[in-house]
A and B are shown apart, each in its own frame.
Chain A
Amino acid sequence: MMRGGVVSRNLPAAIGFALALAIGAYLHARTADRERLADPPASNSYIVNQTICLGLQAADANGACKPVGAVVGSMIMVQLPANPASWTIASLSPNLVQEGRIDRLPNPGRYQGTSELYQWRFLATGAGDATLVMRETPRTISPSGTFTYTFRIR
């Protein structure tokens, strides 16, 4: 009786302990797999930021950026300096599908007047031309207040 009572009293603790070890072992196995991953996959990302737009801005009220070629199934990553300025997606072609949330990368001291990089990810889902208009509030980086990215997806 007494032994049965000890076992039943400690059973939840034992189960919890075992569960924690199992979770840890699973996470460890995933980490170890990464360590064993000798050959990282090739990138399929096209990364653009403000540099592909600045320089064209003065003469272009629409904030046009240099056109980018990409392939269907690739990821298009857009990085823009932010905080305190903020960016919103003003328009997006249907063959670009936003993936996940905005990544916020620390960027203190790098670009005057901003402390973060915002990063958006878009999956190129269909061939054809695509546009992405990013609007800045307040306007600090884009002379026109917008950057209009154009993509030729094949």
Chain B
Amino acid sequence: MARALVGFVLGLGLFAAAEEIRRVVPIFQPDDGPATFVEPELRRSQNGVLETTLELKLAKHTVAGRVFEAATYDGKLPAPTLVVKPGDTLRLTLVNNLTPPGQPLPAQRVVSLDDVYERSMNIMRNMHHEDTDAPVHAAEPPPDPQAQLYSNLHTHGLQVSPAGNGDNPFLLIKPGETFRYEIPLPADNPSGFNWYHPHKHGSTAKQTWAGVAGGIIVEGDVDRIPAVAQATRHVMVLQELWMDNTGHVPSALPVPVGGMHMFSTIPPVPSDILYTVNGVYHPTLDIRPGETQRWSIVNAAPHRFFDLTLDGHTLYQIQQDGITLAQARPQQHILVAPGNRIEVIVRGGRAGHYRLRALEYDQGHPGGPMPEDLMATIRVRGEPLTEPAPLPSALLPYKDLRNDPVAAKRTVEFKGNTFVAPVEFFLDGKPFDPDRDDATITVGTTEEWTLKNDDFMQHPFHIHVNPFQVIAINGRPVADPIWWDTFPLPQKGEITIRMHPRPDVTGRTVYHCHILPHEDNGMMSAVSLVAGK
């Protein structure tokens, strides 16, 4: 009996060891199947201008064998990747053809800034965030049943003007309306990977749960670094598609819940959340042994953090949030919060299949950590390169804001409540008010902000137009600060950031939590960027 037990234990031990090895060597052999990695369509600027039309409309896509009626730009899931250079101008015509499912397209008319600005402000003024002492604005109209179809467009990461027809978060384009954005990029806009998505307060989460998002590549100096230039580039738009059994994003009031479903609604309907890469569930991407690829990754999910790892491979991070690092960082896993972008160089290892996984991660959601999810399979195959492609090391130097004189200090407190419905999320105890500036910043000066999270759930702080450096986390100085435009606040903790708003961009814009149901429910503030005297 004792010998049988010893044999059993030895056998189990051997199997456990084999399972562990399986994680890092290419034993994983999934069906290749039809889920091939798909590259989003590219639309490039020509002669300094990228002029294109983006029709916001429903379009049916098959995701994990289910027909999902996604909200899309031009029917694409994800939207086309826009490719520009510093100094170019984006001329984007947004045609809002969103409809309730099964309804005919609305008749279109072109609207101007004068047509929509004051109307948009009035609609946002009349949005109610429950159980607050915020003043109720007069002349309150009844809610529009089509409010979830109102939209606009934000160029997340571009250092462009938020005024007028620019990257203006205060606009609201209704179904049946066409609006022309004109967004000139400054000549020194960093080269890197950014993205665009709807940003209409109140409907941003639903529209991104429905799939509306696309990448923006700003080409430039980073692309000329030899180890980067030699790598084959792939854009990866990570999405969190929420669908009920009719193939639509549930239209009722979202409610966070624990367990594998993560969200329910009032009233409840059966629904699932599926994580996709470029609109494909569990795609397979090929790489040759020794080949390097440059993955431009955006977390376009409204809610889910992705702590990414690639079995058996190191991720050489070269960018964070569209700005190149001074030195490539070899990483075994990288946390990509909603709104974050990363760029990594991957070199194909031994032939075989490897999993790109989002590790289990506790972002403070009810019910404990998000479970691990398979995002994609990486298939290393083909003839090995005679000489492995080079890996990046030194990249592009940048300014360290820790040495700057500080013109102003501010503190912002994040606090939310998911115990009730609708959920409540506030900055400094107040919900978003489009008329109220919670900060006025003199551009060209350096400010230091302390961002305090009173919640157990993490809030990714995002500010439009200008990036920032995180110089301390929970009071501990960061040794080598890098640039971010979105950073997840620690649970019940705080960070200190410094920003130096570029001197040539003024106007009103916003900062907010990039968990989009939090933003939609009030966790956003307006900020004015003003010129110095």
For residues 9 through 50 of chain A, which have their beta carbon under 8 Å from a beta carbon of chain B? 9-10, 12-21, 23-25, 28, 32, 35-36, 38-40, 42-50
Q: Which of A19, A36, A66 contacts B31 (CB 8 A)?
A: A36
Q: A35 and B30 in contact (CB under 8 A), knowing A16-B3, A16-B6, A107-B258? A: yes
Contact A110 B28 (CB under 8 A): no
Contact A109 B5 (CB under 8 A): no
Q: Which of A18, A51, A109 contacts B421 (CB 8 A)?
A: A51
- Is B102 interfacial (CB-CB < 8 Å)? no
User: 19 extra interchain contacts, Cβ-Cβ under 8 A, other than A49-B264, A51-B255, A79-B259?
Assistant: A12-B1, A13-B4, A13-B10, A16-B10, A17-B7, A17-B11, A23-B15, A24-B11, A38-B31, A38-B281, A39-B281, A45-B261, A50-B419, A51-B266, A55-B421, A66-B267, A107-B367, A109-B491, A110-B365
Kindly list chain B residues whose C-beta atoms are within 8 Å of the C-beta of A25. Answer: 15
Kindly list chain B residues whose C-beta atoms are within 8 Å of the C-beta of A39. Answer: 64-66, 281
Total contacting residues, chain B, CB less than 8 A: 56
Give the contact stretch, choosing among B226-234, B268-276, B334-342. Answer: B268-276
Interface string of A99-130 (1 = CB under 8 A from B): 00001011111110000010100000000000
- Is B366 interfacial (CB-CB < 8 Å)? yes
Least Cβ distance of A29 to chain B in Å? 12
Contact B420 A54 (CB under 8 A): yes
Contact B19 A51 (CB under 8 A): no
Kindly list chain B residues whose C-beta atoms are within 8 Å of the C-beta of A47. Answer: 257, 259, 261, 264, 268
Interface on A for B, CB 8 Å cutoff?
9-10, 12-21, 23-25, 28, 32, 35-36, 38-40, 42-52, 54-55, 66-69, 74, 77, 79, 81, 103, 105-111, 117, 119
Q: Which of B64, B259, B491 contacts A105 (CB 8 A)?
A: B259
Least Cβ distance of A50 to chain B in Å? 7
Q: Which residue of A lies closest to B33 (CB)?
A: A38
Contact A103 B35 (CB under 8 A): no
Least Cβ distance of B34 to chain A in Å? 9
- Is B492 interfacial (CB-CB < 8 Å)? yes
Kindly list chain A residues whose C-beta atoms are within 8 Å of the C-beta of B11. Answer: 16-21, 24
Q: List 18 A-B contacts (CB under 8 A).
A: A12-B4, A12-B7, A15-B7, A16-B10, A20-B11, A21-B15, A24-B16, A32-B30, A38-B35, A44-B245, A45-B261, A74-B270, A79-B366, A105-B259, A107-B366, A110-B366, A110-B457, A119-B259
Contact B19 A28 (CB under 8 A): yes
Interface on B for A, CB 8 Å cutoff?
1, 3-12, 14-16, 18-19, 28-31, 33, 35, 64-66, 245, 255, 257-259, 261, 264, 266-272, 274, 281-282, 364-368, 374, 418-421, 456-457, 491-492
Contact B268 A48 (CB under 8 A): yes
Q: Which residue of A lies closest to B268 (CB)?
A: A46
**A65 to B168 alpha-carbon distance, docked (Å):** 41
Kindly list chain B residues whose C-beta atoms are within 8 Å of the C-beta of A68. Answer: 267-268
Q: Which of A16, A43, A77, A108 contacts B8 (CB 8 A)?
A: A16
Kindly list chain B residues whose C-beta atoms are within 8 Å of the C-beta of A13. Answer: 3-4, 6-7, 10
Q: A43 and B268 in contact (CB under 8 A), knowing A9-B3, A38-B65, A50-B419? A: no
Contact A12 B419 (CB under 8 A): no
Kindly list chain B residues whose C-beta atoms are within 8 Å of the C-beta of A23. Answer: 12, 15
Contact A109 B456 (CB under 8 A): yes
**A68 to B255 alpha-carbon distance, docked (Å):** 14
Q: Which residue of B lies closest to A55 (CB)?
A: B420
Which 8 interchain pairs have the tightest Cβ spacing? A20-B11, A16-B7, A24-B15, A13-B7, A109-B456, A39-B65, A16-B8, A12-B4
* Dominant secondary structure at the B interface: loop
**A68 to B261 alpha-carbon distance, docked (Å):** 18
Kindly list chain B residues whose C-beta atoms are within 8 Å of the C-beta of A9. Answer: 3
Contact A21 B14 (CB under 8 A): yes
Least Cβ distance of B458 to chain A in Å? 12
Q: A117 and B12 in contact (CB under 8 A), knowing A13-B6, A40-B274, A51-B421? A: no
Least Cβ distance of A147 to chain B in Å? 14
The interface centre, meaning the residue of B271, B366, B374 with most chain A CB atoms within 10 A of its CB, is: B366
Contact B33 A19 (CB under 8 A): no
Least Cβ distance of B312 to chain A in Å? 16
Kindly list chain A residues whose C-beta atoms are within 8 Å of the C-beta of B64. Answer: 38-40
**A47 to B365 alpha-carbon distance, docked (Å):** 16
Q: Which of A20, A48, A105, A109 contacts B12 (CB 8 A)?
A: A20
Q: A105 and B258 in contact (CB under 8 A), knowing A16-B6, A39-B64? A: yes
Contact A38 B282 (CB under 8 A): yes
Least Cβ distance of A80 to chain B in Å? 10
Q: Which residue of A lies closest to B362 (CB)?
A: A106
Contact A79 B7 (CB under 8 A): no
Kindly list chain A residues whose C-beta atoms are within 8 Å of the C-beta of B65. Answer: 38-39
Kindly list chain A residues whose C-beta atoms are within 8 Å of the C-beta of B259. Answer: 47, 77, 79, 103, 105, 119
**A20 to B367 alpha-carbon distance, docked (Å):** 34
The interface centre, meaning the residue of A47, A68, A74 with most chain B CB atoms within 10 A of its CB, is: A47
The interface centre, meaning the residue of A49, A74, A103 with most chain B CB atoms within 10 A of its CB, is: A49
Least Cβ distance of B343 to chain A in Å? 28
Q: Which residue of B lies closest to A112 (CB)?
A: B419
Contact A40 B272 (CB under 8 A): yes
**A119 to B257 alpha-carbon distance, docked (Å):** 10
**A54 to B366 alpha-carbon distance, docked (Å):** 17
**A106 to B255 alpha-carbon distance, docked (Å):** 18
**A77 to B263 alpha-carbon distance, docked (Å):** 12
**A74 to B6 alpha-carbon distance, docked (Å):** 46
**A79 to B261 alpha-carbon distance, docked (Å):** 12
Contact A111 B419 (CB under 8 A): yes
Least Cβ distance of B23 to chain A in Å? 12
Q: Which residue of A lies closest to B6 (CB)?
A: A13
Kindly list chain A residues whose C-beta atoms are within 8 Å of the C-beta of B268. Answer: 46-48, 52, 68
The interface centre, meaning the residue of B6, B12, B418 with most chain A CB atoms within 10 A of its CB, is: B12
Q: A110 and B7 in contact (CB under 8 A), knowing A45-B270, A117-B366? A: no
Kindly list chain B residues whose C-beta atoms are within 8 Å of the C-beta of A109. Answer: 364, 456, 491-492
**A44 to B268 alpha-carbon distance, docked (Å):** 11
Contact A17 B270 (CB under 8 A): no
**A139 to B65 alpha-carbon distance, docked (Å):** 46
**A28 to B17 alpha-carbon distance, docked (Å):** 13
